[in-house]
Amino acid sequence: MSRIRVVVLPGDGVGVEVTRAMQHVLEAVARRYSHELDLEEYAVGWNAYDSSGTPLPDETLEACLKGPAVFLGAVGDPRADRLEPGVRPESALLRLRSELQCFANLRPAKVDKELVRMSALKPEIAGGCDLVIVRELTGGIYYGTPRGREGSRAVNTLVYDEAEITRVAEVAFQLAGNRRRHVTSIDKANVLEVSQLWRSVVEDVGARYPDITLEHMLVDRAAMELVTAPSRFDVVLTSNLFGDILSDEASAMCGSLGLLASASVGGEVGLYEPVHGSAPDIAGRGIANPIGAIRSGALMLSHSFDLHIEAEAIEKAVQQTLANGLRTADLAGREDNPVSTEEFAHAVAEAVV
C-alpha cells in the first residue's frame, strides 16, 4: 500500500467542479489498488483573496511546500480585473510555480480516436497527433528584468542562462527516452541571441543522449507544422513564451481545452492542473469537461508517486468512457445527449480496473 498525499487547491469557477471530478476518480483508484489517499484542501485564487485579501495565503503555500504533489483546479475571476497585477488570482499560480521550483511544464496533446471529428484539423491529419510539449516555465521574457512601462514606452526583457536551459532540456530528453526517442527543440535562432544560446546548450545536452534524435526548428515553421503534420512531433522542447503559444495551438488539434492535462515539475513537489481556465461563464452549471483534470491526476500518480499502472488505468478508463459514447457539452454533437461533469466522472471511476 502507498500513501497518496495531495494538497488540493480547487480555486475558482469550474476549477471547483473539475477538481471534485478528479478526486472521485482518484478515490476509485485508491480503492481498486489498495492505496491510502490523503487529500488536504486549501484556498487559492479569487476565493482566497475574497476571504483573506491574498490569492495565495501563507497556510496554503506552507502546505504546498510539504508536497509531494499539488493539484490545482483553475484560478481567475472577472471581479479581480480591478485589482493590481500582484494580487490577481493568476499571480498565485506564478508564485506557486516559483516557490515549488517547477521549471518544466509538460503538456501532452494526443487526439483520441473517439474524438477525432472534434479536431480543428482534417481527421487524416489529426489522427496521428501524439506529442508532449516541454515548456520552460520559470525564465524567459515573463520574468526577465528590466521590465515595466513608462509613458508611451514599455519594456520586457528576454533572458536565459545555460543552467536554466540545461535543466529543462534534460527533462525533455529523459521523457523522449520513454516515448519515440525524438526531441524537436523550438527557437528563433535566426534572429535572437538568446535562441542561439538555447540551441547551443540543447545540442550539448543532446550529445549525452546518443540514442535520441534531436531536431531544431524555428518557431514560425513549428507553428505551421503543428497544424499540417502534427504526427512528426514526439517531444517538443521550447522556451516559456513559445511554449505558452504552441501548447494552446496544440489544444485545437485535440478538440477542446477541456481535454488537456499538464504537469509542472522539476523540484521536489509537482504541480498538476488542467490546461483550461476557470471559465466563469459556465461555472456552477455542471457542464465543464473534467477530462483535463482527470488526466492531470493520472500525470500526478505517474510523476510524483511512480504509480504508472494506476495512471494507465485512469487513461484507459477515460478512453473506455468515451468509447461508450459519453460526452460533456463541449464535445457533444447533434446526435449526442451530453452528460454532466459529475456523471462523466462517475463513469470514469466505474471504468477503473
Active site residues: 142, 188, 220, 244, 248
Which helix (DSSP H) or strand (DSSP E) does residue 23 occupy?
helix 14-33
Tell me the C-alpha distance between 27 and 221, whole Å: 43
Ramachandran assignment for 42, one of left (phi > 0), alpha (psi -120 to 50 degrees), beta (any other) = beta
What Å distances lie between residue 296 and 71, 258, 272, 314, 332, CA to CA?
8, 11, 6, 10, 22
Q: Where would I find the beta strands (DSSP E) of the chain?
A: 3-11, 36-41, 69-74, 104-110, 130-136, 148-150, 153-155, 182-187, 213-218, 235-238, 261-265, 270-274
Which helix (DSSP H) or strand (DSSP E) does residue 24 occupy?
helix 14-33
Closest by CA position to 27, among listed 297, 259, 276:
297
DSSP structure string for 137-179: -SSGGGT-SS-EEETTEEE------HHHHHHHHHHHHHHHHTT
For residues 63 and 7, the answer to whether their CB atoms sit within 8 Å is: yes
